[in-house]
Amino acid sequence: MTMTSDDTSNHFTRKITYRIPLLGRIARETVEGDEDTPFYAIAMVVGLWGSAVLIWGYAGLIIPALILVAVMFLTLIRITLG
């Protein structure tokens, strides 16, 4: 069974994610936009993280890394549950 574009646009989590003011537009452009858009999103995140390090120093480096540990942990749990 293959998924069509109609099936993927009706996901409940996508509808919620797309309604978040700034992050929803970024997520929509990453999923439905040009093929270069994910690279721009990655460059934006790296640039924001670098700016945080310049502004707040060591805390700007460590706190996002700790948040990413929690996100990866939840991702692994979700993959494990199916």
Q: Using alpha carbons only, what angle is made at residue 76 by residues 59 and 46, rounded to the nearest 5 degrees?
A: 35
Residue type, 76: L
Q: Which of 58, 79, 76, 80 is nearest to 68 (CA)?
A: 76
* pTM score: 0.61
Q: Which of 36-40, 50-54, 76-80 has the lowest mean pLDDT?
A: 36-40
Residue bearing tokens 């990413």: 68
Same domain, 15 and 40: no
25 plus 44 within the same structural domain: no
Domain count, the chain: 2
> 6 and 40 share a domain?
no
Spatial contact of 18 and 28, defined as CB atoms under 8 Å apart? yes
Residue 1's pLDDT is 45
Q: Domain of 10? A: 1-33
28 and 49 part of one domain: no
Mean pLDDT in the chain? 84
The pLDDT of residue 3 is above 80: no
Assess whether 55 and 82 both reside in one domain: yes
- Whether the per-residue pLDDT at 31 is higher than 90: the answer is no
17, 50: one domain: no
Position 79 scores a pLDDT of 93
